[in-house]
Amino acid sequence: MTPDTTPAELEQALTDAADAAEPLAASEPAVRAGWIRAAADALDAAADELVPIAMRESSLPEPRLRGEVARSSGQLRMFADVLEEGSLLEVIIDTADPQAKPVPRPDLRRVLVPLGPVLVFAASNFPFAFSVCGGDTASALAAGCPVIVKAHPGHPDLSVRTAEVMIEALRAAGAPDGTLGLIQGYDVGVTALKDPRITAAGFTGSVPAGKALHEIAVTRPEPIPFYGELGSLNPVFVTQAAVDARGNEIASGYVGSFTLGVGQFCTKPGLIFLPAGHGLDDQLIEATGAVAEAKMLNDRIAEGFSSGLDRLRKVDGVRVLSDGGATLLGTTATELLARREEILEECFGPVSIVVEYSSTDELRAAVEAFEGNLTATLHAEEGSDAELARELLPLLTARAGRVLWNGWPTGVAVSWAQHHGGPFPSTVGSIHTSVGVTAARRFQRPVAYQDTPDTVLPAVLRDANPAGISRRVNGTVTTGEVSR
């Protein structure tokens, strides 16, 4: 067992991060991008060493873990590209206009600056992509913030070795000492969260743990932003027209999605709503029964799944349709609406619930029964379901950060437009994402400089635009010089 970080070691990590904050913030975007690319290259180079450690500690298969390494290094490089392009800084320049009405306008130059040291609580279910080298770390480094990762106890050895690889790569590339650090232990993480040198925190985990840490963050003498991803049911709603057009495809896609990764994805579809008499029972039961039993991430998660499944089995109106390597439960919209709190509680693992509805009114009521989710999915036909879709999409939009049409929520593309977040309780910060380019926005704040001499401005705000980055000048996006 990896020992907890000692108080002296924690103090050193916090001191190093605080010392790194100023030089990291002052680094030119292209220079910072070079550091981040060096970490990505080192991660890829160490894959043959890191993946076997991850297999041993997480029970996840090699192809999945190698895919995670590629995803992690890929998103590091994506942030490096965006840094060089300039959009990450959101530079906006309004030059002085003495003739502006009703009053003259001063010269205003706005840019996003880093908050300072960030504490990242790693997740259990993605040992690379949401851990030491994951999206929170990548986006915070791109924002110009030193990062201290609180390792997840589910993969401690992997966390240590991954941190060593990245720290050495960053140091060799010229990044300040303290750019990345690692700590171990729950109480150690809480102590770090309370430290005034930490300016923001990211978290992926359970609702109880996330709420407790959020409370600590916002009740400090100087409150800080806490970006917590907590839990999500990711409901899927299917119309009769969609069943008629491609029912078999929907059934197989659903089972594949809720059993992917032994049901341990934060975007697992926890419920599917089908019209009564849908005729897919046999296929759903057969597909679920064919899922082989597999080991979960760790004993604690397996115990939590077993307990949650036992609780769901005992809910009145819920019946077992298939049981084995995965479990399929069934109920009706009427029963769900009568026992909403009992049924709409996430069970992390390979289980999902088929809910039958008897009318569009019941379908609408079922949508409205949900709180915030990371995703919500509608399977419908564009022509015959257009009117119903126009009615349901706003309801889904109010309850989810990503709304899918005729797809499955497992699998989160790392891209410019991605949003991985949602209303509470899926996250405690629905206006932000933890995946995609704009994830860096969580660790930045805007500053506007007014009538400041060009010679003393940050380089990215100067008239000459020496880095050639993208900027909005007097309302127009440009990469050229400022003309007055």
Q: Buried b vs exposed e over 371-408: b needs ≥16 C-beta within 10 Å? A: ebbbbbbbbbbeeebeebbeebeebbeebbbbbbebeb
Judge whether 110 and 116 are in contact, CB under 8 Å: no
CB 98 within 8 A of CB 472: no
Dihedral pair phi/psi, residue 222, rounded to 5° = -120, 95
Class of residue 235 by CB neighbours under 10 A (exposed 0-12, middle 13-18, buried 19+):
buried
Residue with tokens 């419908």: 380
Is residue 145 part of the annotated active site? The answer reads: no
Phi-psi domain of 245 (left: phi exceeds 0; alpha: psi -120 through 50; beta: other):
alpha
**Nearest C-alpha neighbor of 65 from the set 45, 85, 48:** 48
Among residues 57, 229, 362, 381, the one annotated as catalytic is 229
- Region of 328 please: left (phi>0), alpha (psi -120 to 50) or beta: beta
Longest dimension (CA), the chain: 75
Q: Which of 145, 266, 346, 347 is catalytic?
A: 266
Q: Compute CA 91 distance to the chain's CA centroid, rounded to the nearest angstrom.
A: 25
425 and 371 Cβ atoms separated by less than 8 Å: yes
> Residue length, the chain?
484
Judging by beta carbons within 10 Å of its beta carbon (0-12, 13-18, 19+), is residue 411 exposed, middle or buried? Answer: exposed
Q: CA angle at residue 11 from 10 to 12, to 5 degrees?
A: 90
> Is residue 347 annotated as a catalytic residue, yes or no?
no
Contacts by 411-416, CB closer than 8 A, 24 or more apart: 411/267, 412/267, 414/71, 414/74, 414/75, 414/78, 414/135
Taking alpha carbons only, the member of 139, 138, 135, 92 closest to residue 111 is 92
Q: How far apart are the first and last CA of the chain?
A: 63
> What torsion, rounded to 10 degrees, do the Cα atoms 344, 347, 353, 355 define?
0
| Cβ 17 vs Cβ 197: under 8 Å | yes
Query: Using an 8 Å Cβ cutoff, are 317 and 332 in contact?
Result: yes
In this structure, the number of other CB atoms found within 10 A of the CB of residue 189 comes to 27
Q: What are the residue numbers of the active site?
A: 229, 266
